[in-house]
């Protein structure tokens, strides 16, 4: 992570003002842990559970234009995101966006979700934020799944690793690294 910036999210959750939300990862580690704990309360043994980790992210259009700040979304939306405002973006498209755009900020690390994100500005100067998992965050989540005694891990939408029309240099070995992240799972 040479050009990545580590960023600690606020330590204590706060209530967002009515009508605004901070956006975040699709598979935050605390959410995975909470989900497994809910199954355990239902007397489901973790060794019977498999989690699927996303090979895609979400692109949010931000109401605030401050580079590096968490993206705020305004309006009455489910989880702060109507599909039209924050469509899924494949990992291949994310890699292409990061390597083919000049208005992209550094990849930032969010400690509270164990996920990464970056900002980019479109031609009109509107800030967008992309939240996703990369090989490093997936490896951490796969290792956690092993320690949690889960049966296994997999990818959700493995086809989203590809980037049609991106050219061979867009992935820069990221494809192999994403697959290798599963090696961190030790049952």
The span from the CA of 61 to the CA of 123, in Å, is 13
Partners of 2 in beta bridges: none
Helices (H) then strands (E): counts for the chain = 4, 10
| CB neighbour list of residue 134: distance below 8 Å, 6 or more residues apart | 91, 107, 116, 174, 177, 178
Q: 19-28, 88-97, 124-133: which has the minimum mean pLDDT?
A: 19-28
Q: Tens of pLDDT along 101-149?
A: 667 888 999 998 899 999 888 888 888 888 899 999 999 999 999 999 9
List the beta bridge partners of residue 22.
Answer: 72
| CA–CA gap between residue 70 and residue 116 (Å, rounded) | 12
Q: Across-strand partners of 51? A: 153
Q: In which band, very low, low, confident or very high, does the pLDDT at 48 lie, cut at 50, 70 and 90?
A: very high
4, 103, 119, 173, 182 from 67: Cα distances, Å: 15, 11, 7, 28, 33
- Higher confidence at residue 58 or residue 79? 58
Q: Which residue has the tokens 């489910």?
A: 78
Domain boundaries, given as residue ranges, for the chain: 19-184
What's the pTM value of the predicted model, to 2 decimals? 0.79
* pLDDT of 182 strictly over 70: yes
- For the ranges 3-17, 23-37, 59-73, the maximum mean pLDDT occurs at 23-37
Please state the φ and ψ torsions of residue 14, each to the nearest 5 degrees. Answer: -125, 160
Higher pLDDT, 83 or 74: 74
Flag the least confident range among 48-62, 69-83, 85-99, 140-154. Answer: 69-83
CA 176 vs CA 58, 63, 79, 122, 161: distances in Å? 22, 35, 32, 30, 10
């Amino acid at each position: 992570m040479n050009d990545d910036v580590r960023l600690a999210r606020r330590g204590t959750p706060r209530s967002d003002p009515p009508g605004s939300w901070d956006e975040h990862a699709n598979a935050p580690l605390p959410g995975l842990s909470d989900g497994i704990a809910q199954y355990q309360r239902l007397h489901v043994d973790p060794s019977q559970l498999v989690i699927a980790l996303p090979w895609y992210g979400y692109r949010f259009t931000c109401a605030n234009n401050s580079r590096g700040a968490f993206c705020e979304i305004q309006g009455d939306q489910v989880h702060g995101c109507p599909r039209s405002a924050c469509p899924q973006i494949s990992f291949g498209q994310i890699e292409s966006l990061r390597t083919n755009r000049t208005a992209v900020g550094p990849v930032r690390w969010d400690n509270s979700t164990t996920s990464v994100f970056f900002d980019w500005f479109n031609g009109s100067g509107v800030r967008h934020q992309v939240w996703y998992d990369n090989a490093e965050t997936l490896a951490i989540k796969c290792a956690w799944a092993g320690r949690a005694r889960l049966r296994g891990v997999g990818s959700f939408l493995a086809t989203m690793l590809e980037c049609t029309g991106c050219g061979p240099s867009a992935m820069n070995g990221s494809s192999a690294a994403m697959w290798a992240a599963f090696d961190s799972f030790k049952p």
